Amino acid sequence: MQEVKKRILTGDRPTGNLHLGHYVGSLANRVKLQEEYDSFIIIADVQALTTHWEKEENLTRDIYQITLDYLAAGLNPELSTFFIQSMIPEIHELTMYYSMFTSVNVLRHNPTVKTEAAQHGFKDMTYGFLGYPVSQAADISIFKAHLVPVGEDQVPHIELTRKIVRRFNDLYRPVLVEPEVLVGDVPRLVGLDGKAKMSKSLNNAIFLSDTPEDVNLKVRNAITDPARIRKTDPGHPEICTVFEYHGVFNPEEVKEIEADCRNGSIGCVACKNKLSVKLNELLDPMRERRRKYETAPELVKEILMEGTRKAHSAARETMVDVREAMHINYFDHEIPI
Ligand code: ATP
Ligand code: MG
């Protein structure tokens, strides 16, 4: 008998192209685990609307771009199922049921919700934004996922998902699976600004779709140690974003670079050049795969349609159990009159 694989559920908001932070935080794990797990990748368009409700005209483009990013990064559509959140109405139904027993205070005190609300300048959070972790709990549990590979900012949300699943299973019947979180090797890659995490919305990212020239220019303009004026001045790698990236993307040379920077024998220009070379080595095979799919847009559409169809059917199956557990399968009961 064929062994049933455990499931992965993870994904991204279609709010722009994917970047190196996504790669090291979550995508690399997805690529690595796609053979071992039955992988579902959600393109969370409804969650995108929680902050981008006035930018709806970008959604179609961003959905296709993110799919190209997945394919470029090495996700194989034969192994991974890509689907669009809004096209699975059962997710929204389950969100509504979960919201009946999830308290507003728990959401208000969620550290990621707080940070993001501040980032977006929300003084008064919308109902949809405040509730997006509940919707995420539905995204994950409707597929009975065992594992969720994500970046560090998502950890409180997976914790909440586990709580909601436990609560549901206690209240009604144990039909749902409590998922584990898997944070990537680099849980939070800093942005080119050296301040916030690298993010699609903060203009501090190196994108998987950037050309070699884009990468060279972004790295050249990255801020290094401000105290270093001349090449021979001793550097302070611990406060330098370029050095941090060497640690992630150039582990073989990082020790040597640290020593050379501290004793002033490597200048920032040479150090940045080394980094650009490494980044382009990582991105080159992605560029090649992207080109292949860019020239076949119909194929990309088919991959999305087929993935959404498969995900919809899995979600429908879970909801039969959910409705039964909650006794909202009214026409299946004996008539109580
Ligand atoms: P937005 O600015 O629109 O919120 P984002 O760049 O934060 O975009 P998301 O779609 O919110 O990206 O996140 C998708 C996944 O990528 C999540 O699992 C998140 O933890 C991970 N991720 C995003 N940015 C980073 C980063 N800089 N380092 C590590 N992981 C990250
Ligand atoms: Mg985000």
Residue 64: pLDDT over 70: yes
Tell me, rounded to whole angstroms, the distance of Cα 132 from its chain centroid: 14
User: What is the pLDDT, as a whole number, of residue 228?
Assistant: 81
Distance CA 159, CA 170 (A): 17
What's the 311 CA to ligand 2 centre distance in angstroms? 23
Atom number, ligand 1, closest to the C-alpha of residue 187: 29
| Whether 183 contacts 78, CB under 8 Å | no
Residues 210-257 have pLDDT tens digits of 999 999 999 999 988 887 888 788 889 999 999 999 999 999 999 999
Q: Rg (Cα) of the chain, in Å, rounded?
A: 22
Q: 212-290 in CATH: which number? A: 1.10.240.10
pLDDT band at 36 (very low <50, low <70, confident <90, very high): very high
Atom number, ligand 1, closest to the C-alpha of residue 18: 6
pLDDT band at 187 (very low <50, low <70, confident <90, very high): confident
Instruction: Establish whether residue 30 lines the binding site of ligand 1, counting it when its CB lies within 6 angstroms of any ligand atom.
Output: no
Distance CA 17, CA 186 (A): 19
pLDDT band at 1 (very low <50, low <70, confident <90, very high): low
Query: Cβ neighbours of residue 217 under 8 Å, at least 6 residues apart?
Result: none
Residues 293-333 have pLDDT tens digits of 999 999 999 999 999 999 999 999 999 999 999 999 999 98
What's the 278 CA to ligand 1 centre distance in angstroms? 22
Cβ-count burial 210-238 (b if 16+ within 10 Å, e if not): beeeebbebbeebebbeebeeeeeebebe
Question: What does the domain layout of the chain look like in residue ranges?
Answer: 7-189+297-332, 212-290
What's the 23 CA to ligand 2 centre distance in angstroms? 14
Residue 2: pLDDT over 70: no
User: What is the pLDDT, as a whole number, of residue 225?
Assistant: 81
Residues 73-129 have pLDDT tens digits of 999 999 999 999 999 999 999 999 999 999 999 999 999 999 999 989 999 999 999
What's the 62 CA to ligand 1 centre distance in angstroms? 15
Nearest CA to ligand 1 atom 25: 21
Tell me, rounded to whole angstroms, the distance of Cα 248 from its chain centroid: 18
Specify the fold of 7-189+297-332: Rossmann fold (3.40.50)
Mean pLDDT within 137-142: 98
pTM of the model as a whole? 0.94
| Whether 116 contacts 151, CB under 8 Å | no
Going through the chain in order, the beta strands assigned E by DSSP cover 7-12, 38-43, 80-84, 147-150, 180-183
Residue 44: name the closest of 85, 8, 82, 80 by CA.
85
